[in-house]
């Protein structure tokens, strides 16, 4: 069964929280991952199953966030 994940940027771009929201009535924390980002960012669009285009809030442009290793997070 396919799962749906919610990714939330935290700590001014330094951390990514991962939640399993497949069943919105029972949201599960999947973990978190360190992110080497130059600042806070917003998700712009999906670039497939494991990548997202993000735009930095501090005006430093855009980047691709590789979510391929998001399953290797710590809870």
Name the residue among 72, 68, 67 with its Cα closest to residue 8: 67
pLDDT at residue number 75: 43
pTM, entire model: 0.76
pLDDT digits (tens, 9 = 90+) for 14-51: 999 999 999 999 999 999 989 888 899 999 999 988 88
Q: Confirm if 30 and 18 have CB atoms less than 8 A apart.
A: yes
């Amino acid at each position: 069964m396919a799962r749906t994940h919610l990714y939330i940027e935290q700590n001014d771009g330094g951390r990514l929280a991962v939640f399993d929201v497949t069943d919105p009535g029972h949201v599960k924390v999947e973990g978190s991952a360190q992110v080497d980002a130059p600042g806070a960012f917003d998700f712009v669009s999906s670039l497939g199953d494991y990548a997202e285009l993000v735009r930095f809030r501090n005006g430093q442009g855009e980047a691709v966030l590789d979510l391929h290793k998001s399953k290797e997070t710590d809870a």
